[in-house]
Structure 1
């Protein structure tokens, strides 16, 4: 039985994590796809040696790896482009899950009323392991769109929102998609001691809104936003 790989440095550990997230295969098969020797890759993933800039740029190009995260551990592992169907990583597992896209459903990151459709009109492929790492149930996720600027800079206008519909309990501090009457909103939520719920925008130009008893009767929690990405 092969000995487990041991990463001697945080960088080496992050490099190994990329391979496991985007493919999950053994090191030899992954190295062949990269066009390098498996022992060379092993040296990088163990921390025995350091890759050059061309290797790092290849990871960024192939897998949309965030080099700031890879080098320092700060930020997210992947750039938002990781979620786009046309930028799926090389050698991706056939077990990629296809999330339904509801193109005519928009969560307002603002105050406007948005019509809600019913039928999916596309799909977006994701690695289910990546979604589980975000705390999501992959089979319960779907994609809708954010409109408006009230959640900027966290969520830009036009972002695709990955929503886990299994998470419908209001959880303080979470970004959630909620329906209030005819409005569909994406906001941070906070349950108050008096039982009311505050809807908080990340854009300081928008004051928090409080849902009173009448609005709470119309409240419908669609799910928690577990990830978002920009698309062309």
Structure 2
């Protein structure tokens, strides 16, 4: 049975390029390419990142959907090139911004990429280099942000904007909350959920503000209907 590994190996051979040449143009390492196209390779497609696959496909001038699913012709056409040019592959971090009681975080690691149109990013005023993707976890920001929602965060926006929704770190917890300035000093960490018995708002007093860090501001949300 032909797998995506076989199709990619065939395309590499037909291109006349070496793995070293492809690695130099894409930034995908030779060992990674060898794991993809080596004899007898059975590397699952689920383990590769979209960004790396798209880089390799662009250099080899083949279509990603042909590599993965054997759909359509192998050769890239103008529409494929438009895809490469029009979409930014944004980093998805392996953290969940808690919209509940708080999600303890030990590290933030790259868990692949999601594609966003570059013109959309320009429209909302977010630079590609500053845009990150995380997932909401919990119900404290409902109905505005449901559990499991995809959040687009501008990590350059680390200053408090009154009444906007931010991703914050409080000690070792990552939260997605609305922030409001308190008259006379301090910051309110506000949950949109009206059940204040379960999700009370918290006042961070001026002397404790060094425990609060703003990671970025939420600009966009995607969620299942």
State the TM-score, normalized to the length of structure 1.
Answer: 0.57
Structure possessing the higher radius of gyration over alpha carbons = 2
State the partner residue of 1:224.
Answer: 217
Offset at residue 125 of structure 1 (A): 0.6
State how far apart, in whole Å, the 1-side matches of 2:99 and 2:208 are: 18
Quote the Cα distance in structure 1 between the aligned partners of 2:106 and 2:146: 20
Report the CA distance between 1:137 and its aligned residue: 2.1
For residue 125 of structure 1, what is the aligned residue in structure 2? 115
CA contact (8 A) 1:199 1:210 kept: yes
Separation in 2, partners of 1:116, 1:99: 22
Q: Does 1:98 align with 2:66?
A: no
Matched, 1:173 2:163: yes
Does structure 1 conserve the Cα–Cα contact (< 8 Å) formed by 2:96 and 2:103?
no
Q: Does the aligned pair in 1 maintain the 2:97–2:103 contact within 8 Å?
A: no
Structure 2: how far apart are the matches of 1:123 and 1:174?
A: 26
Q: CA deviation at 1:139?
A: 1.8
Shift, 1:214, TM fit = 4.4
Matched length: 142
Corresponding residue SS for 1:94: helix
Aligned CA-pair RMSD: 2.0
Q: Specify every segment of 5 or more residues in structure 2 that has no aligned partner in the other structure, as ranges.
A: 1-78
**Partner of residue 202, structure 2:** 209
String of CA shifts for 1:134-179, please: whole Å, max 9, x gaps. Answer: 2322220111111010101111101111110000000011110000
Give the stretch that moved more between structures: 207-216 or 153-162. 207-216
1:1-232 maps to which residues of 2 (within 5 A)? 93-95=83-85, 96-103=87-94, 105-205=95-195, 206-230=199-223
| 2-structure distance, mates of 1:166, 1:125 | 20
